[in-house]
């Protein structure tokens, strides 16, 4: 039986699937109300003012629904991991905001506070040492949800402690946090701050066995952490990673580009500031890679991260003489999600990922074959 999970990712239009669907009736009511008010508007100025008011109210509703979805999903996490893992949610901080509109305002340059999920094996023995895995979520604006529940189960069953940071820009924490997004920038430091916090806080974690893995935007964060913090990780996996923002801006629509050009974000297009988009792109920063054991996966029918981005990354790593492993899958069903699904083929690919990580991170109960994964992630 296939288990359905709410996938958090942003498509070209930008809003996250799944989080706001329940508010459709409310939004329709708002639109009808707005239309009736618009009929009474007497001047173009009245209409424009009304439009701004409606847009603001709609955005506020979206963020409230995201917060509600987050609270519900946190309850689901506890239910789905019962008996398998202990879950905590930790409130920590990363660097100050990338943009400070009023730098002299009280607290304007304070560190950005954010939440991090932490998952521990249910049978954890504090007298032993455990490997740590960082698992940043994907999506331009998204969050860490029970979409990843089977992957978390598979990891903790092997003996990994997993930390999944809700880095700046994640959804479910309100508009102000949403607008702190720094895609390819300080979000990477939030993930690194999570790594450091976990190692400093839990003495049973082995600082010589730290890995990082992620898909899509999370794969991009994985790569940038390797590039910006050489020697801090002992193994990594980057699945369908966003790799070249310049190319990406070229094949996506303006609605998608607006997320990056927003005043609270980069504030410029790739055309206006190509250097800024290069700075945030793994494919343009491969010279920094220090040959941490790395596996990269991509899929030729990816409907989110075009394979050309990852091919550019692979060519750049090769041109710089770097050592790494990769596999380009040919039209595997599932497109962007091909190795995160519950299909047999997806599970077999995840076994490959875990086989890559295990020799370097040495979990107590590594997954070696499909049957191991099936029991770890699905109980039966």
Q: What angle do CA 343, 150, 313 make, to 5 degrees?
A: 75
**Total length of the chain:** 380
Question: What are the tens digits of pLDDT across the range 295-339?
Answer: 999 999 999 999 999 999 999 999 999 999 999 999 999 999 999
Nearest Cα to Cα of residue 192 among 121, 134, 139? 134
Closest of 278, 143, 291 to residue 217, by C-alpha: 143
**Per-residue model confidence as pLDDT tens digits over 242-300:** 999 999 999 999 999 999 999 999 999 999 999 999 999 999 999 999 999 999 999 99
Q: Can you give the pLDDT at residue 108?
A: 87
Closest CA to 228 of 187, 269, 168: 187
* In the predicted structure, residue 4 carries a pLDDT above the cut 50: no
d(CA 31, CA 179) in angstroms, rounded, equals: 25
| Higher pLDDT pick, 248 / 28 | 248
Distance, CA of 54 to CA of 34 (rounded, Å):
7
Instruction: Quote the CA–CA distance of 72 and 88 in Å, as a whole number.
Output: 15
CATH number attached to the domain at 21-378: 3.40.50.1820
How far is Cα 10 from Cα 53, in angstroms, rounded to an integer? 25
Exposed/middle/buried for residue 252 (C-beta within 10 Å: 0-12, 13-18, 19+): middle
Q: What is the mean predicted confidence (pLDDT) over 12-39?
A: 47
Domain extent listing, the chain:
21-378
- What proportion of the chain, given as a percentage, has pLDDT over 90? 82
Contact 239, 261 (CB under 8 A): no
Average pLDDT over residues 220-239: 99
* Residue 254, phi-psi category: left (phi > 0), alpha (psi -120 to 50), beta (remainder): alpha
| Residue 29 in this model has a pLDDT that exceeds 80 | no
Q: How confident is the model at residue 101 (pLDDT cuts 50, 70, 90)?
A: confident
Q: What is the pLDDT of residues 107-141, one digit of tens each?
A: 989 999 999 999 999 999 999 999 999 999 999 99
pLDDT in tens, 75-96: 999 999 999 999 999 999 999 9
């Amino acid at each position: 039986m296939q288990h359905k999970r709410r996938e958090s990712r942003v498509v070209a239009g930008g809003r996250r699937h799944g989080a706001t669907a329940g508010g459709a009736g409310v939004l329709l009511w708002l639109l009808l109300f707005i239309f009736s008010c618009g009929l009474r508007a007497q001047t173009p100025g009245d209409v424009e003012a009304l439009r701004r008011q409606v847009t603001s109210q709609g955005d506020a509703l979206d963020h409230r629904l995201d917060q509600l979805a987050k609270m519900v999903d946190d309850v689901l996490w506890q239910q789905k991991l019962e008996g398998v893992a202990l879950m905590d949610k930790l409130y920590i901080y990363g660097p100050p905001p990338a943009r400070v509109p009023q730098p002299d305002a009280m607290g304007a340059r304070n560190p950005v506070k954010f939440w991090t999920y932490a998952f521990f094996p249910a049978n954890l023995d504090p007298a032993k040492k455990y490997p740590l895995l960082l698992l940043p979520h994907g999506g331009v604006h998204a969050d860490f949800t029970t979409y990843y529940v089977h992957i978390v189960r598979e990891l903790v069953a092997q003996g990994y402690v997993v930390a999944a940071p809700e880095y700046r820009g994640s959804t479910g924490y309100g508009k102000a946090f949403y607008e702190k997004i720094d895609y390819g920038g300080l979000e990477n430091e939030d993930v690194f701050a999570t790594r450091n916090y976990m190692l400093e806080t839990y003495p049973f974690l082995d600082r010589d066995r730290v890995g990082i893995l992620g898909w899509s935007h999370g794969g991009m964060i994985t790569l940038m952490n390797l590039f910006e913090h050489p020697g801090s990780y002992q193994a990594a996996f980057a699945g369908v990673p966003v790799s070249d923002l310049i190319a990406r801006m070229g094949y996506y629509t303006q609605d998608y580009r607006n997320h990056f050009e927003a005043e609270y974000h980069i504030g410029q297009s790739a055309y206006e500031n190509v250097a800024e988009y290069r700075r945030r792109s793994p494919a343009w920063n491969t010279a920094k890679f220090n040959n941490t054991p790395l596996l990269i996966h991509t899929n030729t029918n990816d409907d989110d991260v075009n394979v050309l981005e990852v091919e550019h990354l692979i060519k750049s790593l090769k041109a710089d003489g770097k050592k790494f492993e990769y596999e380009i899958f040919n039209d595997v069903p599932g497109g962007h999600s091909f190795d995160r699904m519950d299909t047999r083929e997806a599970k077999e690919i995840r076994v490959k990922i875990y086989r890559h990580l295990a020799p370097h991170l040495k979990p107590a109960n590594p997954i070696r074959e499909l049957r191991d994964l099936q029991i770890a992630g699905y109980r039966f």
